[in-house]
Structure 1
């Protein structure tokens, strides 16, 4: 069987939107990987989005639908024309893998596809996430900023909650960085399944609880007045974050614990900060890349409350 490779080189902030369009028509998976600069280092501002379609009588129809959906997306944000090329059966698997290199993130983490093994003596902590996985692979600014922030605030032995876990990349990284336990939650069954698959891929057998659920599940697992988690992770959308904060998200965090909130555009930052402040979360640090913002908050200690251990 021969295959058609579809590829687009896009602005890094558009990569996941393009991948979502392709994934509607290509169940085999869509891959996102950073372009390389002149020194062959990852350049996250420009990213390749690639997918592969087996050639069949349906291929022309699928290609037409993809082109149509990409055109609609281009009316919101300009896109390059997709590139199409045919690959023979023996070439496509290697073509899928050949483009990907490990992605160092922050000071300690290394995101790798499943077929890579870290070099002997490597001093970074491996997180295996296939580039074709949906829900977050480390290439989007919001995910990378979360990982960088987590390196700074996560203390060994911490209890962590990952709300909207997606691929599970943040949960897995938290355990690599020394978390005692992570509760990974998502309201999308496909994301829950992706997190379970990635946990197996990373040989995680304990310390991770994966459940279908959202804020209500989180608050059930950490009811007041019990202390709550030491670190809350939520890489979602600003509107959803504000809604969650207004509905009691901060109650899941123990006093003096931290929250890392991401998925926020620069123009949404003030509204998120106002909602966080109203929930007794004090801004500790802001990380940014282009239009994206990630905030690190500390839960204010109210009179009579014990601090995080």
Structure 2
């Protein structure tokens, strides 16, 4: 089979939403070439796990690459992707150059080439994300290792918004908690929650492909009984009392279901939100406080913000 590599030159701010767009159009083998990763790997407080080659990264901006099968629908799919990226401007997301290029590769090349970007990454004191094909030995007895196949779906677990979410889960989740993951993507936050001791995790995503990916990755980690994934629009018509709700999506989406999050949280429950760019931080804080939430902490990494709020 012939494959076409789509390469999008954009900004760090647009990485997550564009990655989601590619995932929703059925792209495989997502690669993010972000020069900030070169700095992050050297400055990681958790210790350097792997080395990156600077020659693989752009001097400025971010390159996102993914692979689409060459068929009669290719040009239509590419136009859909371009339109969806342009629509991000309505959310005040800086898409930068927004240059889209295509190049043809054979199946053998793409099936292995993108894997060089994925290695075990320690993203918090206890959590390490390991691609399924990599060997890795735990460095401590309480280390939590998440097995993930990044080719399955959007959400490799190494983007700052995901790291912030996981660090909050590690800090606040208590054994036996009931957790809801809204906008689960690949299910990496659901898996982290279960491995940290959640009794039950409910994962919701509007995209059926994401729901399937969540369950596939849950099975990889032998957590398919602890995690229940369902196709759903945010928390519409959901009535599950939970201790923690975690959501790593756009700020404009988060504020749409603040009231539903409140209704589904036990008293004292926490709403962990991420995927928030700096200039939308106050928007989310105001929405949470208006609902009655108490802001517990605001954490930041690079240009991204995570807010932990408590139902009081």
Matched-pair contact (CA < 8 Å) for 2:22–2:81: no
* Rg comparison, structure with higher value: 1
* Unmatched runs of 5 consecutive residues or more in structure 1: 223-228, 301-309
Correspondence 1:106-185 to 2 at 5 A: 106-119=124-137, 121=139, 124-185=143-204
Correspondence 1:249-264 to 2 at 5 A: 249-264=261-276
* Displacement after TM superposition at 1:287 (Å): 0.7
Partner of 2:252: 239
Correspondence 1:212-227 to 2 at 5 A: 212-213=231-232, 214-219=234-239, 221-222=240-241
Partner of 2:65: 50
Matched-pair contact (CA < 8 Å) for 1:32–1:132: no
Alpha-carbon distance between aligned partners in 1 of 2:151 and 2:111, rounded to the nearest angstrom = 12
Q: Which has the higher contact order (CA 8 A, sep 6+)?
A: 2
Matched-pair contact (CA < 8 Å) for 1:32–1:139: no
Partner of 1:37: 38
Q: Alignment partner of 2:256: what SS? A: helix
TM-score, with length taken from structure 1? 0.77
Q: Deviations over 1:3-53 (max 9, x none)?
A: 554445654323234435655766444333655537536999975522235
TM-score, with length taken from structure 2? 0.76
Please report the RMSD computed on the Cα atoms of aligned residues, expressed in angstroms. 3.6
Partner of 2:230: 211
Query: Which 10-residue stretch deviates more, 276-285 or 146-155?
Result: 276-285
* Unmatched runs of 5 consecutive residues or more in structure 2: 43-50
Alpha-carbon distance between aligned partners in 2 of 1:42 and 1:276, rounded to the nearest angstrom = 42
Alpha-carbon distance between aligned partners in 1 of 2:254 and 2:69, rounded to the nearest angstrom = 39
Check 1:113–1:8 CA distance in 2 against 1; reply closer, same or farther (3 A cut).
farther
Check 1:14–1:50 CA distance in 2 against 1; reply closer, same or farther (3 A cut).
same
Check 1:103–1:34 CA distance in 2 against 1; reply closer, same or farther (3 A cut).
farther
Q: Aligned residues, how many?
A: 291
Q: Alignment partner of 1:218: what SS? A: coil
